Structure 1
């Protein structure tokens, strides 16, 4: 007989299989069905404090669907299958992660030990590093997934859907002035890889170093050394900032010998990095902040559009007229950089503004700020790590979209904090 914990194991440990099948981040929607069945059988269902904010976020998104046919000033397009599919997928994801949190919090420690869940996240971290190395050394690797083969052309051809269902090792962009691959396997795009690797790193260290033996610590050190390669080649400044702030957080919150050991390890790692070939690429990326103008344009256009529907937003993204270089919309022979960027594509905060208005953004922030406030006093390894992840969520909402896979990891981290209150690791 299967353990009640099999759906979360299938999601985290079995994630490479979902990615190869074309589901990837959508796997949580599929697995939310058996999770809901397990929950239904063990009523009454226990609910964490502060979860009402997430329920209100979903209710608000349902109301936002009324605005799918509207167009704010400065945007263009028409209501079609793509917009409806995007709305439905986001709604399904919001509901699925709600089910997942309740499912995790209602499993007993015997059914799913806290340490086992943390180590499952660590396994996904190793998978992520393997995918990152694949993107660095074999960036052209890609294939047609089974899901891609069975979807109708209008769905498979949608750019948002295509990123989710078509497995690729890397995303090629002109970040340094020339085309360069950025690792993204096994996730949907390069920024999702950067977002996820930092969250998973936190749990990898807790599960396999803090609660590990001598052999496991050697393994952790080896994996982290390899991780430096795709982390730098990702050219992901948000990830780098997040790792730096995570180190500062730990130095401030940890005390005694642990703080000294952490500072010493960080110093040794910094010297080793400075002497490696990766340092030059790191410096080159900092010297070429090419995306700043693009982000400034989309953020200002998003805020302006959201101001016309500040309470419930527009249900989905909209395409801006022109971009940061020209008012021309669409790519032409004489201007291959004149695309029309989707509003809300540069961070979860901006996505919420355009899809759910200022109200939706406030509910999202309230959910994670509340989690930090309630669990700040928990100084166990899981408590410190969970609060750190909640802080990274608030940082990353300015630069990364939380959809699709990052949101699942955010909410699993929230569930770990909740479970930790019910019974500490032994």
Structure 2
């Protein structure tokens, strides 16, 4: 392995170590430092088309800091260390991802071949499946990370930060009317696991099936069947829809045999197991729809009062979809006023950066779909599919932190392929 490739390998192959340390997705912030140093020594630096949109997104987020102390109508809460910490974490992530994309694009194909990067993502898929199975079999598994031990309480006790630094195997929620584990290891939360596994399986199929021999293809078939278990137990409707979009896309782009093989394997695992009953229960339990409808409509209304720069971070809404008198109790620690901007990256951008920030984000990824649609290589088609999934997932998933890292690594693969 060439010396300049080690930060990339450390991020993707070494992800379980970062998770155990309490950094997880924040590893990209740490590794952006050596990436920036190496880039500086390699001047001049190439940048991709669309780079200006991400720079404007970052600049807009910097400007939005001036509204952090504001409390728009329909929300409550004063400027607090938690709000500032959340803002700074997101700012660091946005800047680090910019460095990462430029770094990947400036490594030569001799230093980092495309297939090597794809297979690094495939290794992370295997890690994700293992974490998902851990969440199904041992949902109570968790531990205090080294980072959590050393952080002061006023930072570590922030709910957003705690999700990032406290390793857990699963989120136990009452989605079906009773306690149900939703896998999340080695990522921040269950929805992040769902988004990430759907992106990583695409690159796994490219590296192990499209460019794989008999051994790799057999391994791919076994792992995809194994992945079906945590995918169903995740109770993640967004993930299920994302997989359906992926299948439709592959059929459209002329790979029906691959779609048929994957569908046959997944179908066998599904119908010959108790998994089908779990899916039926989840479809019959759409209680989160009301919560999403309330937070999304409230987010749009609040964002309209600062359409150009937003409010820098999320805000807590008065009440929820049922009442204005809601809060945490001893029997429901997760009950309370839902944070606006927590139901998808689009809604987070609307409240934190206004409509202008949301348009820049959409423009960046939609522009990638337009530019790379004609690339019919396996890597080109896979990367374009990920860009399409980004535009869907922004409606239902918060992209920070690990998910957005995978989106932009996929963008870098497209850029390098061109």
Q: Cα distance 1:28–1:264, how it changes in 2: closer, same or farther (>3 A)? A: closer
Partner of 2:81: 81
1:265 shift after superposition: 4.4
Distance across 1 between alignment mates of 2:41 and 2:144? 38
Is the CA contact 1:315–1:355 (under 8 Å) kept in the aligned structure 2? Answer: yes
Distance across 1 between alignment mates of 2:47 and 2:94? 16
1:162 shift after superposition: 0.4
Matches within 5 A, 1:94-173: 94-173=94-173
Partner of 1:372: 369
TM-score (norm 1): 0.96
1:264 shift after superposition: 5.0
1:336 shift after superposition: 7.0
Counterpart of 1:288 (choices 285, 288, 296) is 285
Partner of 1:180: 180
Partner of 1:70: 70
RMSD: 1.4
1:11 shift after superposition: 0.2
Counterpart of 1:361 (choices 345, 358, 364) is 358
Matches within 5 A, 1:195-206: 195-206=195-206
**3-state SS of paired residue (1:182):** strand
Distance across 1 between alignment mates of 2:334 and 2:134? 28
Is the CA contact 2:2–2:111 (under 8 Å) kept in the aligned structure 1? Answer: no
Distance across 2 between alignment mates of 1:214 and 1:160? 44
**3-state SS of paired residue (2:46):** coil
Q: Cα distance 1:31–1:253, how it changes in 2: closer, same or farther (>3 A)? A: same
1:270 shift after superposition: 2.2
1:80 shift after superposition: 1.1
> 275-284 or 74-83, which moves further after superposition?
275-284
Distance across 2 between alignment mates of 1:201 and 1:23? 23
TM-score (norm 2): 0.98
Q: Cα distance 1:335–1:273, how it changes in 2: closer, same or farther (>3 A)? A: closer
> 285-294 or 362-371, which moves further after superposition?
285-294
Aligned length: 418
Is the CA contact 1:322–1:338 (under 8 Å) kept in the aligned structure 2? Answer: no
Q: Cα distance 1:338–1:160, how it changes in 2: closer, same or farther (>3 A)? A: closer
Partner of 1:328: 325
User: What are the superposed Cα offsets for residues 169-194 of structure 1, whole Å, 9 maximum, x if unpaired?
Assistant: 00011100111110000000000000
Is the CA contact 1:169–1:186 (under 8 Å) kept in the aligned structure 2? Answer: yes
Partner of 1:247: 247
User: What are the superposed Cα offsets for residues 204-227 of structure 1, whole Å, 9 maximum, x if unpaired?
Assistant: 000111111000000000101110
**3-state SS of paired residue (1:388):** helix
Counterpart of 2:397 (choices 400, 406, 410) is 400
Q: Cα distance 1:264–1:18, how it changes in 2: closer, same or farther (>3 A)? A: closer
1:277 shift after superposition: 1.3
Is the CA contact 1:192–1:400 (under 8 Å) kept in the aligned structure 2? Answer: yes
**3-state SS of paired residue (2:340):** coil
Q: Cα distance 1:334–1:193, how it changes in 2: closer, same or farther (>3 A)? A: closer
1:220 and 2:220 matched: yes
Identify unmatched segments of 5+ residues in structure 1.
422-426
Partner of 1:424: none
Partner of 2:412: 415
Distance across 2 between alignment mates of 1:193 and 1:316? 23
1:2 shift after superposition: 6.3
Partner of 2:28: 28
Is the CA contact 1:325–1:338 (under 8 Å) kept in the aligned structure 2? Answer: no
Is the CA contact 2:225–2:265 (under 8 Å) kept in the aligned structure 1? Answer: no
Distance across 2 between alignment mates of 1:34 and 1:176? 45
1:262 shift after superposition: 2.9
